[in-house]
Structure 1
Amino acid sequence: MTRNFLSASLRALALATSLTAVLAPSAWAFDESSTAAVNVDAQSLALRGHDVVAYFLDGAPRLGTAAFTARHEGVEYRFASAAHRDAFVAHPARYLPQFGGFCAMGVALGRKLDGDPTVWRVVDGKLYLNVTKEVQVKWLSDVPGHLKAAREQWPALQHRAPRDL
């Protein structure tokens, strides 16, 4: 990474972190003390209730409903339809967000930030979230490089609390 790019990335990450700190307790239920590898709320609900299958089959985020749910490794996922739920149950790994649903750019920079389900991208058949649209712009500027960095960082981050990073 060039020095200017790293500096701009760190500024965007700092802004996202400050926004997350302000909004997280009330708006997103992001738990800064959780050591879970999956980004969930206090009720173990992933993606703020968004349907993980919809990104792939509908090409857009959709809120799921309590009428169509499935649990995977202790985490609750909601779906917009029975067909989406059944697709997930048949092949959960196909639909799960990468890095546990934490911000992909944050992980690349050694942080666990709340991934926003409305700021997403499917790359090579995998779902990635970002914390804000501004951070996503930085992430999209070098997806292969950021994914390489995130994959290298993730093993050391996945079971650490965000506030400890």
Structure 2
Amino acid sequence: MKNIFILLLLLTSSVVLAQKSDYNTKKGYVADGYDVVSYFNNTVEKGKNEFSTTYDGVKFKFSSEKNLALFKENPTKYVPQYGGYCAYAMGKKGEKVNIDPETYEIREGKLYLFYNSWGTNTFNLWLKEGPEKLKKKADINWGK
């Protein structure tokens, strides 16, 4: 009985760790704590501690109770692609690169986030090099 308990504990721990590694939670929350629903209203808003939830083993913040409720109704609609890592880096090299939460694109109803720092704006590179091609590569790389 004790061995079964230990086995279940190990399996549960590995699933939780696997889920967390699939998300960019460098600052403790997906999208650096920005409200992922707000992007779909063409705004970028920081989330507030009082409007937070956990989905798929990671934490999300929202700017309002309304946005929190919208997320809870359909979380897969709002979760950023590639776990909130830079879409360009995932497409170009299959790398998990941190993002600037204020650099984003909504494409075909999905949220894509990008790195934008130190003179490099990967959203501009994404557009220049072809989002359709990079998205296909990113989908393949993310699957690995």
TM normalised by structure 1 equals 0.69
Higher strand share: 2
More relative contact order in 1 or in 2 (CA 8 Å, sep 6+)?
Answer: 1
Q: Deviations over 1:56-79 (max 9, x none)?
A: 13x111001001111101111111
Q: Which runs of 4+ in 1 moved over 2 A?
A: none
Q: Which residue of 1 aligns with 2:15?
A: none
Q: How many residues align?
A: 120
Pair 1:41-2:26 in alignment? yes
Is the Cα contact below 8 Å between 2:27 and 2:33 reproduced in 1? Answer: no
Distance 1:153 1:98 in 2: 12
Distance 2:27 2:33 in 1: 12
Deviation at 1:42, TM superposition (A): 6.0
Q: What RMSD, in angstroms, separates the aligned Cα atoms of the two structures?
A: 1.3
Structure 2 unaligned runs (5+)? 1-19
Identity of aligned pairs, percent?
30
Pair 1:136-2:123 in alignment? yes
Q: Which has the larger radius of gyration?
A: 2
TM normalised by structure 2 equals 0.79
Evaluate the alpha carbon distance shift between residue 42 and residue 56 of structure 1 in structure 2; reply closer, same or farther with a 3 A threshold: closer
Residues 76-155 of structure 1: matches in 2 within 5 Å?
76-109=59-92, 110-132=94-116, 134-141=121-128, 142-155=130-143
SS of 2:121 mapped into structure 1: helix
